Structure 1
Amino acid sequence: MAKEKIVLAYSGGLDTSVILKWLKETYDAEIIAFTADIGQRDELDGLEAKALATGASKVYIDDLRDEFASDFIYPMFQSGALYEGQYLLGTSIARPLIAKRMVEIARAEGATAIAHGATGKGNDQVRFELAAAALAPELKVIAPWRSEQFRQEFPGRAEMIAYAEKHKIPVQASAAKPYSMDRNLLHISFESGMLEDPWFDSSAESNEGMYVLSVSPENAPDQAEYLELGFEQGNCVSLNGESMNPLQVMDKLNELGGKHGIGRVDMVENRFVGMKSRGVYETPGGTILFAAHRKMESLTMDRDVMHLRDSLISKYSTLVYNGFWFAPERLALQALVTESQRNVTGTVRVKLYKGNIIAAGVKSPVSLYNPDIATMEADPSQAYDQGDATGFIHLNALRLKVSSGVEQNARK
């Protein structure tokens, strides 16, 4: 009788390395390891050999970087998504893509279950499983961290490190450097370990060795660098006049942003499961793209369309953060976002300097800015009669005067 097949989302880090071995032993199953290449770079080196040596019967390492940039990062950035005013959703937006491909592999391999290494306290468990529910409700989901047996065997990271050492599974985490990292094309995140203390200063010079994508603003070049981003319908399609696809744009912006110390965020956020958590993020390229896109919109988006879209940013961001990428409400919001970007076309110039993105110009063939109308000098177009503002103000003041009169009468 054939063994059950389980597709495991495998990163090669401490958790999933231990889980691969544990699943194989506990379920007596065939484990198919799946790693999505979404920009981890050298973290993928030797991953296939490591997974096979740990007990996987088969390993998929799929290059999803183009799809990640074009179908996930770019649509999200069109929305202006920013969770709790700081987080550019680098981890959140990667999870639906990973789940989508994992489901495809499970179906192709005849697997009955998928598994992940997300903890029972985190957001990723929700993101993976909501995506799976939307795409393949027939598949069983195994979440070892929510298993009483698994938690008894591994009450903490120290036990997992010891288990990995016992089974000769090489992992980056150690007792001396216990924080976890998650890297992709959009960002890298750091959490746990010493970062669980919100008073711990992640910006201190002594902690500079933690960072991967960026230098500190203090160590960035003393010379500013100018950059021109070309947009078409809300998507960045060129840098300094050179046409690029979304993946190339993200790679180049990460390089430039990291060089100039841009995109570091240290925040305490509200997880979907109810607790607060502290995370440190490096998002150099995404931070530049976010700022430039907003600048482009300021010149080309209709006022009320912009305000309507902006009123939905919190909702859209929360949907992505909480794992509802494939939910009908996110798809409906995306349709509105796509329509709002129809004329977001032109060029934005920015200056990068020591952690700052400084606006240095914007132009567009479909600009809604008319200098003849906006000028404080004589209006040659005569499109705006300043006298008309009198009636405009009177009409808008009417309800305020009525309300004030009622309150004054009530006090008499």
Structure 2
Amino acid sequence: MGSLRMTGKAAGAALPESSCAYLLQELKMIWDEVGQDKNERERILQELEQECQEVYRRKVNSANMSRIQLHQALAESEAEFTNLLLSLGERSFPGRPEKMTGTLKEQLNAITPALQEMQMRKEARVKQFMEVQTEIQRIASEIAGHAGNEAVTVNEEDLSLKKLEEYQSELQRLKREKSDRLCKVEEYKVLIHNFAKVMGMDPSKILANVHPRLLDGPNEQQTKNISDDILKKLNMTVQQLQEEKNSRRDKLHSLVKALTNLWNILDTNMEERQPFGQIKIFATTSANGMLGPGNLTLETIQQVESEVNRLDQLKASKMKDLYLKKRAEVDEICKKSHMDLPYQTEMDTILDLIMSGDVDHDDLLKTMNEYVYKAKEEATSRKDIMDKVEKWMSSCDEERWLEEYSRVRWLPNDHLQYAFSPSFISLS
């Protein structure tokens, strides 16, 4: 009956009332007093022994499971510790015990603090990777020109300092590229502001046509668009403004040159020139230099253009007067020399050109002076003949006067007085 059977020593010894042996002894005393059958006693003792074995077995199984769990926990802790070392790129950790000795609980208690420290280091390293990768994505999105709202994923298999340094190097490169692009954007914005100021345009509208985020807003931390497309559009805008500026400057320069020429032709006084004096100064001195605000506005160019048109009309009127004056001089020469008017068709053509504004003042003066000179030259070549004609005509007049005198000398005095009166002489 195994352990439930008592030896004489055990039966005679004093036992605690709560022990199994005491209870078994008390049970036998009861059986003796009752007269319990021996076979029944053997059956009951056998059942008790089986029940005890089952209780012990459960306890052993429970203890064995605890041991297995401790082994597993210790193995998992060691594996996790090793994985953390590998992911963090470290070969060893000072807090980890070199040799695992003692009971399982002692070994587990020895590795747990080092494991917790490594977990905290991993969390800190993941946070560093997250910050760096998030910043890289943000700047890369700005350079690419899209929103960049994708979630950042950290590869926890490689959290080494070497990998972190690679990301940090990439971040520094992107920051330098962003800085260069921002400087380029600011340069373009300054050029656009300067061009707009000179030509009287609104720079905010120009920049808004390129991209709304180029405008200076209250939130300096807002995402900026510094993509290649934006830089290309800004460059094209600057080129267009440069071309427009050059076109306006050349046009204004040409207009001011024409205005100055008209002033000289028309002998315009200083009082009439004064409103355009400043425009003339910057138009003639700023061909390759700096222009002030508003120097190339459309209003300024239109103002000069209107004045040039007004003076052109005035010049046409004065040129017509000059033409008529010179033509009258030619007519007078021809009349005195009894010549037909030469160059009639040419001078009529000149008049048509004057009315259309296609004749220069100097060309007109030169041409008409040539006509006057040729008319005078022709008159000079006829001078001898004209002198002879005039002498002949004078002789004819003298002979006619003498004949009249001879005819009327024999008239009575009253008739004679009438014959030599101014009215009679004039009639004869």
Relative to its length, the structure with more helix (as a share) is 2
Q: Which has the higher contact order (CA 8 A, sep 6+)?
A: 1
Relative to its length, the structure with more strand (as a share) is 1
TM-score (norm 1): 0.22
TM-score (norm 2): 0.22
